[in-house]
Chain A
Amino acid sequence: MKKDEMRDIELLIGKILRIGVLVSVTVMILGIILMLIQGQGGYATKTYPTTFVAIFQGVVQLKPYAVMMLGAFLLILTPVLRVIVSIYAFLKEKDYLYVTITTIVLIILAIAMIGGYFAGH
């Protein structure tokens, strides 16, 4: 792969990281503003939404903790998205060795997510 093609991938990754951080920070700030307005998290003491369903329902009802958890989740997803885009970029460059390597990383991340989900519920 030529150096400037690599450079294109790096620029794309930079863009994704910037958008990811911006979006998640915005959602987190919204959650905090909601919490300042409502004066509470929207859930009983020491309970927090940790499932997709609970977070989704909470976001629809504008519950502060749910919006904050969504922001945190989007932040976690930002590096994952970086990995996904890298796979696409390596594929476009026909660099199949690195398509494989990056896919392995993605699979590990997916296993972590599924494992964490079932360990917690």
Chain B
Amino acid sequence: MITSNLLLMLITGLLAGILGSILGIGGGMIVTPILTIAMGLDIKYAIGASIIVVIATSSGATISFLRDDMLNLRVAMFLEIATTIGAVTGAALNGWIPKPVLYVLFSLLLLQSCYNMVKKLLNKPATAEQAVVQPDYLSQKLRLNSSYYDKALKQKVDYQVKNVPGGFLMMLAAGIASGLLGIGSGAFKVIAMDNIMRMPLKPSSATSNLMMGVTAAASATVYFFNGTILPNIAVPLALGVVFGATIGSRIMQHLHPKVIRIIFIPILLYLGLQMFLKGFGVNI
């Protein structure tokens, strides 16, 4: 019984890892709905397992981004002050917030990311045109302006950063969401850097990935010591996701991801609706 449970978690993690890398969303976004809706696990323990998954995927992905010279280490370090404070707050709030609220919050995020995926499918990818950005006082003082090597353009692109306080505030929110719901909240982080601070998209997503690990570590230590992280669930799940993500990124190169996305978006949508209803005490 206990070992079959173990294998079930390994396989769940494997599928979540493959699916996550194909859909381009974090493992945490997929793991929690499956654990709570399909397996009936308490959302508290699903969140604990999921935060471990986030650290595993972030560390794995960062290694490849480092090779591509995409990261902005200063931006990451400075904004991590905000995300870690947020994450600890989120993890501390988790015990106080009623579980139905957690379900509803999570379902809203899931539905939002479904909407984003559909939007991405319908629109042609925007051409990466970098508008001229006037760096502000803080971004110069903190030396956040940098450059990255763009593979598509085949050249080094210099960029400036602005509206640092706005980005900092958004990162605080991203940290709270991450700590409270056990997700990487990469979408929020990219919004903070790309939309608010006007950093180009590629270094934004690479930097967001690096920050996820430290952000998740802040809330994971809280969850680890207060007994929310169960070894028999979190460990096989994390292992499965690590290997699944590796397989997923390989599959991605051979398959046409668009077709797979069209198949899986309704499934995520269904899980999101289920979680929403569960928040109101309705089980289908």
Contacts and interface: CB of A to CB of B under 8 A. Distances in A.
Contacts of B87: 112
B15 to A, nearest CB: 18
A91 to B, nearest CB: 13
Q: How large is the interface on B (under 10, 10 to 19, 20 to 34, 35 or more residues)?
A: 35 or more
Contacts of A28: 235, 238-239
A10 B72 CA distance: 10
B225 A116 contact: yes
B223 interface: yes
B43 interface: no
B122 to A, nearest CB: 36
Given A17-B59, A97-B142, A121-B225, A76 B232 contact: no
Which DSSP category, helix, strand, loop or mixed, fits chain B's interface? helix
A2 interface: no
B239 A117 contact: no
Interface in A72-121: 72-73, 75-80, 82-83, 86, 97-98, 101-102, 104-105, 108-109, 111-113, 115-117, 119-121
Interface residues of A, number: 57
B87 to A, nearest CB: 8
Contact of B235 (A13, A31, A102, A116): A31
Interface string B140-180: 00110000000000000000000000000000000000000
Interface string B210-247: 00011011111111111101111011101100100000
B3 A75 contact: no
Contacts of B217: 76-80, 109
B180 to A, nearest CB: 14
Nearest to A37: B3
Interface string B70-112: 0101100110110011011001100000000000000000000
A28 B52 CA distance: 12
A98 B142 CA distance: 8
A75 B219 CA distance: 13
A111 B225 CA distance: 13
A115 B77 contact: no
B52 A72 contact: yes
A112 B88 contact: yes
A76 B220 contact: yes
Interface string A1-29: 00000110111011001101100010011
